[in-house]
Structure 1
Amino acid sequence: MAQQERAVRTRELILKAAGAVFAERGYDGATISDVYTRAGLTKGAFYFHFSSKEDLAEAILEVQVDAGTYPIVPRPLKLQELADAGFVFGHRLMHDRMLQGSVSLSLERGAHHLDRRRPFLAWIEHNLRGLTEASEHGELYQCVDLEATAELLVGAFSGIQMLSHVLTDRRDLTERLSVLLTQLLPTIAVPGVLARLDLTAERGERVLAEAEALAAAQGTAADCE
C-alpha cells in the first residue's frame, strides 16, 4: 500500500511539473528532462509512469476532462449549476499551473498530433447536458438551440480566457466570465430564472470552497460509519 501511495504521489508530482512546463514553454519547447528536473525526480522515475512526452501531454489534456476539475454542488436551478462549473473552472485556471498547461496544450497549433479535440468536445457535451436539464426544468426559452448554445459557450470561454491570458496573465478571467454570462444568458434564460442567477466574478471561489467543505464532511461521515 505504501509503495502504491508513493507511485500515486510521484505521478502527481510529474503532472504538476509538466503542467507548469507546458504552460511556460509550450509542447515543442518543453523537454522530458525539464519536467523530471522540476519535479525533483530521476529520469527512471519519469519513464516508470510515462513512455514519452506525447504520452505525458495526453495525460495533461485529460485534466480538463476530469469532472473533479469543476466539482458541482446541486442547485435548484440547473442553469446555475452550469454557470458554477464555468466559474469554478475559471477560478482554478487563474491559479492552477497544471490546468494552465492543459489549456495551453489544447490551444497550441504546434501540438497538432495530440488529440486536442477531446477537452473541447468534453466541455460541449458537459454544457449540452446542463442546458438539456435546464430546458427540461423550464428555465430556458423553448426556441433555444441547445447544441449550438453548448458550442457557443465553449468557443466564447476559449476566447475570453486567451484575451485574459494575453492582457493580464489571467488575473481578470473570472471578471471577464461574469461579463460574458451576464450578456449571453439573457438570450436563453427566462426572466424569472435570470433574476435568480448569481453570476458574480467571485462565484467560482465560493462554490469551490463549498464543494470542498461538502466533500470533507462526507469523508468524515464515512470514517465514522
Structure 2
Amino acid sequence: MVQQQPKQERAVQTRDSILRAAAEVFDEAGFAGASINRILKRAGLTAGALYFHFASKEDLARAVMNAQSDSIIPWLKSEGLQRLVDITMVWAYQLQVDPLLRAGVRLTGEQEAFGVKDATPYQEWSQIMTECLEVAAAKGELQAGVEPAELAEFVVEACTGMQMYSAVASEARADLADRAVRMWRLLLPGIAVPAVIARTQVDPARVQAVIQDAGASRATAARAAEDDRRTTEAAG
C-alpha cells in the first residue's frame, strides 16, 4: 500500500501534464492543427503514456472541454449570488491567462468540426450556477419569481456570446471583464433585492488579486514540497 500511493500520484501528474500540454496546443492550433506528436513533444512524454490515459485525440479534446471548471471553482470562496458573480469575474480573468480554459472554450465552440456534439460543458456550468442561485434564493437574495435554473442557463448563454464577441472585438479578450461588469449592472436590478445589490461586489480587480496571491502561495508551497522531497531522497 505504501508503494502504491507514489504510483497513483505519478499517474495523476502524468495525466495532468498531458491535459495541460494538449490544452496549450489546442489553444494555439485548434483541434485540426493539434497533432498527437506535437502534444507529446510539448508534454515530454511517450505515446504509451498518452494512450494509457486517453483513447484518442477526440477523447483528449473532450477531457479538455470538460475541464473548464477546474480553472475557476478552486478560486471561489463566496456563496450565493456573490459566488455566481465571482464565477464570471474569475472566468473573464482566467480566459486571458489559462490555456486550459481557453482551449476548453475553443474546442466547445468548434466541436462539430471534429465530429462531436457534446453539450456537457454548458450543462455543467448551468448546474454549477443553478446551485449558486438556489443558495441565493434560500438566503432571500433573489426577487420573487426568479427561477434559479432558468437564470443560470441565461447567464451561461450570455457569457458564451460575450466571450465570442470579446475575442473578435479586443486583443486576447482584454475587454471581457468590462463586459461581464456591464452584464451584472444590467441584470442585478431585475433579479436581486436592493440590499443585496448594494453589497454585491462586481470588481475584476478583487478576483485578480485573490488569484494572484493564491498562485504565489501555491508556488511557494510547491517549491517547499520539492525541497523536502529532494532532502528525503538525499538522506535515503
Q: Secondary structure at the match of 1:25?
A: helix
Structure 2 Cα separation of the partners of residues 187 and 22 of structure 1: 39
Aligned counterpart in structure 1 of residue 121 of structure 2, from 104, 119, 122: 119
Q: Confirm or deny: 8 A CA contact 1:14 1:36 kept in the other structure.
A: yes
Aligned to 2:53: 49
CA-CA distance at 1:214 after TM superposition: 9.8
One-letter amino acid matched to 1:17 = A
Q: Residue 88 of structure 1 corresponds to which residue in structure 2?
A: 90
Query: Which structure carries more relative contact order (alpha carbon 8 Å, separation 6+)?
Result: 1
* Cα distance in 1 between the residues matched to 2:89 and 2:73: 8
- Are 2:144 and 1:142 aligned? yes
Question: In the TM superposition, what whole-angstrom CA distance separates every residue of 1:160-205 from its partner, at most 9, and x where no partner exists?
Answer: 1112222221222222211211221221111111011110122321
Match of 2:134 among 132, 135, 138: 132
Q: Secondary structure at the match of 1:149?
A: helix
Find the aligned partners of 2:210 and 2:120 in 1 and give their Cα distance.
26
Q: Is this contact kept in 2: 1:131–1:150, CA < 8 A? A: yes
Deviations 1:118-176 (A, max 9, x none): 01001111111111211221111102233221111001111111122222212222222
Q: 2:73 aligns with which of 66, 70, 74?
A: 70
In the superposition, the TM-score normalised over structure 1's length comes to: 0.84
1:58-85 Cα offsets, whole Å, 9 max, x none, are 211221244x63232135xx21121112
Is residue 111–residue 117 contact of structure 2 (8 Å, CA) maintained in 1?
no
- 3-state SS of 2:199 partner: coil
| Residue 156 (structure 1) aligns with | 158
TM-score computed with the length of structure 2 as normaliser: 0.80
Q: Which amino acid aligns with 1:169?
A: A
Which amino acid in structure 2 is aligned with residue 95 of structure 1? V
Q: 1:199-223 CA distances to partner (integer Å, 9 max, x unpaired)?
A: 012232134357679999xxxxxxx
Tell me the amino acid that sits aligned with residue 187 of structure 2.
L
How far did residue 100 of structure 1 move? Answer: 0.7
Question: Do the aligned partners of 1:139 and 1:189 also contact (CA within 8 Å) in 2?
Answer: yes
Pair 112,42 (structure 1): closer, same or farther in 2 beyond 3 Å: closer
Question: Which one-letter code corresponds to 2:177 in the other structure?
Answer: T
Contact 1:174 1:202 in 2 (8 A): no
Equivalences, count: 213
The residue type equivalent to 1:197 in the other structure is T
Aligned position for 2:195: 192
Structure having the higher Rg: 2
Q: Which amino acid aligns with 1:32?
A: I
Which sections of structure 2, spanning at least 5 residues, go unmatched? 220-236
- Cα distance change on mapping 1:6 and 1:146 into 2, 3 Å: closer
Q: Provide closer, same or farther for how the CA distance between residues 151 and 91 of structure 1 changes in structure 2, counting only shifts above 3 A.
A: same
Aligned partner of 2:29: which letter?
A: R
Say if 1:126 and 1:214 are closer, same or farther in 2 by CA, change over 3 A: farther
Aligned to 2:227: none
Judging by fraction of residues, say which structure has more helix: 2
Question: Does residue 21 of the first structure (1) align with residue 30 of the second (2)?
Answer: no
The alpha carbon displacement at 1:43 in A equals 2.2
Identical counterparts, % of pairs: 41
